[in-house]
Structures are given as C-alpha cells and as structure tokens.
Structure 1
Amino acid sequence: MLRRALLRPSALRRLSSPSPSHSSFPLSLASVRQCSSSSSSQIPHSHSVEQLEDTPPPPLSATISIDRSNLYNPTEHSHEPSAESELVKHLKNVIKFRGGPITVAEYMEEVLTNPKSGYYMNRDVFGKGGDFITSPEVSQMFGEMIGVWAVCVWEQMGQPDRINLVELGPGRGTLMADLLRGASKFKNFTASLALHLVECSPALQKLQYQNLKCTTEETADGDSGTRHTSTLAGNPVSWHAMLEQVPTGFPTIVIAHEFYDALPVHQFQKASRGWCEKMVDVTENASFRFVLSPQPTPAALYLGQRCKWAKAEEFAKLSQIEVCPKAIDLTQEIANRIAVDGGGALIIDYGLNEIIADSLQAIRKHKFVDILDDPGSADLSAYVDFEAVRRSAEEIPNVSVHGPITQSEFLGSLGINFRAEALLQNCNEEQAESLRTGYWRLVGEGEATFWEGPDEQTPIGMGTRYLAMAIVNKKQGVPAPYQE
C-alpha cells in the first residue's frame, strides 16, 4: 500500500463508509482551541505554509528521526519549466472552479488514485525499478508469517469451512501468494478460503492475477459471467474497489499491510485564532503552495474526536496535528464486520502509537522529493496514528484490540527465526546472504552489523518502526502472538 523498505527509508512498505457518530464531539473548533502548541512528532518538508497570521507558529520542540542512509539525495525539486501533466491541470481546475484551495487529503487522494493519472493506477510502483520496496518483496518469510497468524485465527474460530480472506491494497499479490504457499500444509485451512482483493488499480490487479497464477472460466450465472481461481491452492479470487463490496455473512480475516499509510490525511496548524486546516492552493505564477483555511472546515469534527482521545499534556505540546478520517471510518467498518461475522484483522504499517504532527512525505525513485512537486509522479504516505486506530475500533461492541507491538516482536513470536534457520539449511552462499539481508530488514534495528558490502547498500532494519495491531471478535480470545 519494509510501505516502504528502502529502498524507502521510513520503513521495510507495501515491502494498494459510514462515518462515526459526531454527536459526542463539537461541530466547530471551539473545544479544540483550548489545546496549546509545539510538536512531539514533526517531519519537516520543503514547502512552507503561507500564514494567514502575522505571527508564525512557535518552533517545534522535537522531530521524528528518519533514516536517510539509503537515499541518494534528501530532497529534490524541479525548477526547470516543463509541460504540465494532466493531473496538474486537473488539480488546478478543481481549485479554480471551486473558488479556493483544497484540503491536503483531497490533494493526496487525487495524486494517488485519480482514475486517469493517479500514482497507483497505471503502473507497477514496487521494487528497484519503482519507487519503493515492501516487506513481501524483501523476503518470502514475511508472507509466510502472516499465513501462520491467519491459520491461528482460523483455529480460534473453530476451523470454519468457509471464510473470506481479504487483503487491502495487495500490491503485486506477493504477500498473498507467499501466505498461500506457506499455509499449504494446512489443507483444511486453504480449502476454506475465498480470496477477496481490495484494489482500485487496474495495473496492479493484472499483476495480482499473474502472481496468484489465476485462471478464468465462463460461468452460466453470476453478475460477471466469469470465475477467477488461484491455482496456488485452488481458491476463488474476487477483486473489489472497496471493502463494502466484499460479501458479508462469513467469518472474515482482513490483512492490511501498508494500506493505512496511503489513506489521505488532513493537516491542522495552530494559529492565533485556533486550529486551522492546511490547504493546497495555486500561486499567481501557477505553482502549488500551502495556505491555512480562514474558517473551520468539516474535518474539524475528526480533529475534535482525536482531541478527546489524547491526553491534555500531549496536546499541549503540539503546533501541528494530522488526522485521518478514512482510517477511523475504515477501522470501524472492519470492526463491525468482525463483531457480526467473526474473524480478525491484522494491521501492519509504519507509524506511532500516539498523535501525529506532520508526517506526510513523498518518495520518487527511492528519494525524498517535495510533496507538491510534479504530483502523480511520486508516492505520498503518512505515518499511521495507531492510537486513533485502536480507539476507533474499541468503540465497536464485541471486538477486542491487541497491540500495537513492533514488527520485530510480531514476526519473532510467530517463529521467523526458526523459518530462517530452516531455509538456510538448503541455501548456497549467495542465497544465504540474501536471506540474512532480508531477515535483518524485517526484524533488525538500524544498520546490519554483518554487512561487508558497499556502505550505500547497507541493509537497514525496520523491525521497530513498523507496528502490528490485531482486532478480533471477543468470543475468540486473545490472538497470536499477543498472549502473555
């Protein structure tokens, strides 16, 4: 959706609804304005915000450390004149005809998923030839461990003979393929699976079809008239543009690996009159810039909700806040489905178990670039606010939330060490080196001490930067590996 091992510095990445009740929080920013400013989790970017205040916000007191060791350059901005892309023209037209700026979330959503020109829609963005490398692309062991987790949930459900296995943003389909191969010894489990891939990109759907070794046959009934089957384990496969399209009525296991980080975020900045939403506008010379909203915006409802979930002292340190309404809504949709039908969800992503200040970043060809530079040509993502995800799930009755724990803890508890040792028994030296490198990237922290190659290629462990959280039906007990 390693979303993104660097080759992506912020982690080992994609390594691509009903709103909650608003009656319990204010319809304006009034209650939020009691919170004062400074930042505990700030990631700088190269675009400054055009202030609508005479006095700029106070300086930030702390930053998130971003590993840039595998980046060729820390930032890049194109100053050469060039023909505008269709997406740039579209964004400017939206701003022009609306008569004012758009939210950062609207900008992010257009950049990533615009049907004609969105970043994910018409290309393969993964791997060395793309813009980032994700955990499943680093090592087969990642998907195999997710398979172990899914089998454990299935057993806790009483081994039902039909379950929906849903992956949100499956990338190339590598994780799902490795999961099926790794779980192939559990014949009753694999035989129970109906695969549902939530993917809006036609280009990625084709790659998923290929990597799952799908076949297609005509059917006499059904809306589509065709049936897709993965020959890896003989499972039916369906594609959907959104989770709501996945059939209900069966126990469901949802995998969301590096999906939440691509959901559009709204950004707010503290000004003298209170919290103002950061917007994207067009300057007189037709370039994009950030501005602050002159009045409260609809997303302030979610800001108010996030304020309720935070400790007063936490908010007192912030001058900027990032909220993701779609993450809150999606989590509650998943939790509702699990509460009714049974099952569980696994969310793995890079993020923090606390409120996020300003984490939105852009990656192009394994380099950080300016967020507003040539939209549609770079990946945009933001840190996942795991506390908000947990709190939104906990509002749904009959589910329990576990974690987050680090990816290193999660994979280690499921047995990745033993799997690595078993694989090493049948490796030549080159394969063994690749296996050790992949293992370190998944569970290590910092630079690999065993590395003897070029410094610029030193494997960076992201085991503590990725977090793993599980949501399950309460009747099923505590899922692996969260038992004490």
Structure 2
Amino acid sequence: MASLLSRSSARCTRYWSGDLLAAGTYALRRTLCSDIHGAKSDKEEPTLAIDRSGLYQEREHPHSTPGKEAMSAMSKHLDAIIRFRGGPISVAEYMEEVLTNPTAGFYMNRDVFGAGGDFVTSPEISQMFGELIGVWSTCLWHQMGQPSQVALIELGPGRGTLMADLIRGTSKFGEFSRAVSIHLVECSPALRKLQEQKLQCVPCGENSEQKRSRISGSTVQWYMDLSEVPRGVPSIIIAHEFYDALPVHQFQKTSRGWCEKLVDVGDSPGEPFRFVLSPRPTAASRLYLSKRLSWATEDEKADLEHVEVCPQSIKYTSMIAKRISEEGGGALIIDYGDDGIVKDSLQAIRKHKFIPVLEDPGLADLSAHVDFRAIRHASTEAAGVRVAVHGPITQSKFLGMLGINFRLEALLNNATEEQAEALQLGYWRLVGEGPAPWVEDEKEELLQTGMGSQYKALAVVDSSLGTPIGFGSST
C-alpha cells in the first residue's frame, strides 16, 4: 500500500563550492536537520560533501534535452537539477523533490486519497480505525495521570480523517477533550484545507493561525515540522503512514565496496531518468549506512547486497523520544515495514497500481518500507532508559487487543444491509490478510486486500508509564 502523502519530510539546504563548469565536479553540502523549506537551524549542523567526479557510467550532460517540451513540470525540474550540477542526485533527494516540491510535488496541491485518488489508507477505509486510536490515546492519558493539558500531535494527517474520528469517538470523555490541544504537522497547503474542513474548524478569537474544532472544542494549529510544536506539556503523538514517505538512501554492495544508488538523466525522451551507482562509497554510505550496520548482527550483515537507510526516520524518532523523555507522554507509530534491515523496497503507485519508480515523477506516490528496528535503536540512543519501546506488532493484533471485534459488532447492530457490507469489508481490510474471501473480481483485489499483517504498530512511551494498551499479553 502507498503512504499518506502529507508528510513533513525535511527539504535540505544546498550550498555550492568551487567552479562547477571549470572543474566538472561539484560539492553538495546538505544540512541534516533543516525544515521542509530548507531553513537553516540556529545551531551549525554537520554537512555532507559528495564528490561525483568519476561516476560509474558518467557521461556528458548537455544543457538541452531532446523531447524536453513533452516532459512534465517535475521531470523538467529534476532534469535541470541533474544537468546543472553535472551529475546525478541521490535517491533521497529524488524522493524529496517528487513528493514535497512546493510547486510540483505529488501531494502539495491536490487530494490523492480514496478510490478516486491514488491510494486508500486505513482511516479512509473505516471509522473504526480512528476510533480505536482514540481509545489508545485516552488510555495513555489515564496512564499519564490525566494531566489537565496534553498536546495531541499528528504527523502527516492526510485529509484529517483519523483525527476527526479520534476526537469524535473520545468526545464523550469530557475531561480528555478539555485537556487536549490538537497540533497537526503538515506541509501541504491543499491538505491543510481538507483537514480544516474535516475537523469542522472555526476561528479561535483574534488569532488567525489558531482554529477550534466544533467536533470537540479543542484548539487546532498547523506546523511545518515537529520541532515547531510548542513544548511545556506532555504529548500524545500519532504517526500513521508518515515514516514510509520519508526519503531513503539506497546502497548496493559491489567489488568497489558499498556504493550509493543515484538518479541520473536517461538516454531517451521515453526514459528520461535512470539509476546509476557511485564509483566508490559516498559520504552518505560512510555516515548513514555505517550507523545502520552498527546496529545489525553479523548474521544480518552476512548476505546483504542492498540496504535502504532513512536518516529522516532517525531524526524524527530522536525528536519524539527526547520530547517524551523530557515532558512525558507517548507516541504511536503505525506503518508497513520490517523489524530489521530494509533491503530494496522503494515503490511507486499511481491510481492504485504499482508503476516503475522513475516513471512520471510527481504524478505517483513514492514510499519505502519502514525499518522498525532502526526506530527502536534511535529511540533508546536519544533518550536511554527514560523511554520504553513496545512492538512492533501486527496491526491485526494491535486493533484486536483494542477491541475492534466488539466495535464492529456494536456498529452492525444498527447498520443497514449496505452499511453492514461496508463495515465488514473495512474490518477485513484492517485486520485480514490477502484479498477478501468473497472478492471474485481480480481488478478489485488491490482495493480490498487485508493489511492486518503487512502493517505494524510500535509505541514509544515514558518508561514510568508501563505497557500501553494494545501491546500487552493477549492472554
């Protein structure tokens, strides 16, 4: 399944050094912790310098492209970047541009969800999903001692469906609703408007930046990055299909060592981009790959040929763990992925169908499997024993322990025949595995495939709180 396309994946500040045209090479220096618009932090951050001279399969990059007039806006943009620099870009930078470019990024200016879009996510499948995340959040709030103020933060809220179902389902718990302030980390202007509508927001006093949801009465504010969300109160953080669209670097083992996979211009208008390998290990492989492999066992590393690493995943996890360790609360991460090294999972999906990764950039979603093992390591590395990590467990087990069976039964009691059919299909898609048994049309299988074991849930909580609901023993 594809990812939610409302991620606040960081865009990077770029610097240039040297005479590009004279030297035929360039240095790309990238801040590791910049926000989506490339704003520099107050503190000087470490940088990467990547020398692309002598690239494997390197060739001349003329400043004009045959057939360029037929290319999409995003293709022209990527083509210009590569040709101006005189060499290919990393897969991570390709993902950033394709998904979050302010003018031509995939999810920046339109709604891509639902049957009429490119993919469907769990909150869009059934109201039960958001309601049960509300159960988890309320129970965690009770474990926290029912603080009078708590920041409910969602990373990449999509249309706002999950948050709307969450606060609607918990509205009967008045003390919780009064304690909650809602903070949405969202980079897409188009999706912010949809979220405002879904949450039924109205102006909150004279502050035009702050709204209030008519569903629960909670205040609602938007941010470009998690670092902008105010501190000072405990947090409940929800990250559903957020991590899978954060940009990844890809590496391949060769006779020259671990080389980085890069994106270069193609050979013809029909194939405008292609993958190439760096001639030798890059700064990214020495920094990111080395760090990830340091967390792996010798058995895991023995037969590795391909590795994906997501530096932004480590960054966000560290921020989450530090916030929780210092101010209390917890985070729930739900996504598709692996509890170990991810090898080669980058995929593109358009109109509910998988397509080649480099085809029609900007018109298809890009996502990669989440490395849950790296999330665990990043959490404890950032906050030590002050946080506890639970999971990952399958989405099927997680929702089952939250009571999805009982919720389905209650909803079916008052449902029409048509509503009952939709509820049962939604239930299957959330907890089942493979195509629903009653589906006969192969064309519908992708839209009705169960995600129960493919998706996993992981929690990072203040270690003093004990085990959060949904992650304890089922016996």
Shift of 1:334: 0.5
The whole-number CA distance in structure 1 between the counterparts of 2:209 and 2:92 is 36
- The amino acid that maps onto 1:461 is G
Write the deviation string for residues 70-122 of structure 1: whole angstroms up to 9, x where unpaired: xxxxxxxxxx9972222212111211222211000000000000000000100
Shift of 1:297: 2.1
Corresponding residue SS for 1:291:
strand
2:162 to 175, 184, 187: 175
Partner residue, 1:388: 374
Taking structure 1 as the reference length, the TM-score comes to 0.83
The higher-RCO structure (CA 8 Å, 6+ apart) is 1
The whole-number CA distance in structure 1 between the counterparts of 2:451 and 2:362 is 27
Partner residue, 2:211: 228
For structure 1, the residue ranges without an aligned partner over 5 or more in a row are: 5-12, 21-26, 29-49, 54-79
Contact persistence 2:260–2:278 (CA under 8 A): yes
Contact persistence 2:5–2:112 (CA under 8 A): no
2:359 is equivalent to residue 373 of structure 1: yes
Write the deviation string for residues 363-415 of structure 1: whole angstroms up to 9, x where unpaired: 01111111111210000000001111111111122111000000000000000
For structure 2, the residue ranges without an aligned partner over 5 or more in a row are: 11-30, 34-47, 50-54, 59-66
The whole-number CA distance in structure 2 between the counterparts of 1:269 and 1:357 is 9
Corresponding residue SS for 1:339:
helix
Contact persistence 2:390–2:460 (CA under 8 A): yes
Paired residues for 1:85-104 under 5 Å:
85-104=72-91
Paired residues for 1:210-229 under 5 Å:
210-219=197-206, 225-229=208-212
Paired residues for 1:57-456 under 5 Å:
83-219=70-206, 225-285=208-268, 287-300=272-285, 301-395=287-381, 396-397=383-384, 398-449=386-437, 451=438, 454-456=441-443
Q: Sort the Cα spacing of 1:138 and 1:324 in 2 relative to 1 into closer, same or farther, 3 A.
A: same
- The amino acid that maps onto 1:227 is Q
The whole-number CA distance in structure 1 between the counterparts of 2:186 and 2:118 is 19
Contact persistence 1:443–1:464 (CA under 8 A): yes
Shift of 1:298: 2.6
The whole-number CA distance in structure 2 between the counterparts of 1:204 and 1:231 is 19
2:475 is equivalent to residue 475 of structure 1: no
Taking structure 2 as the reference length, the TM-score comes to 0.84
Q: RMSD of aligned C-alpha atoms? A: 2.3
Corresponding residue SS for 1:313:
helix
Q: Sort the Cα spacing of 1:106 and 1:324 in 2 relative to 1 into closer, same or farther, 3 A.
A: same
Corresponding residue SS for 2:283:
coil
* Paired residues, number: 418
Q: Sort the Cα spacing of 1:307 and 1:161 in 2 relative to 1 into closer, same or farther, 3 A.
A: same
The whole-number CA distance in structure 2 between the counterparts of 1:177 and 1:225 is 21
Q: Sort the Cα spacing of 1:88 and 1:404 in 2 relative to 1 into closer, same or farther, 3 A.
A: same
Corresponding residue SS for 1:299:
helix
Corresponding residue SS for 2:70:
coil
Shift of 1:285: 3.7
Shift of 1:19: 6.0
Partner residue, 1:45: none
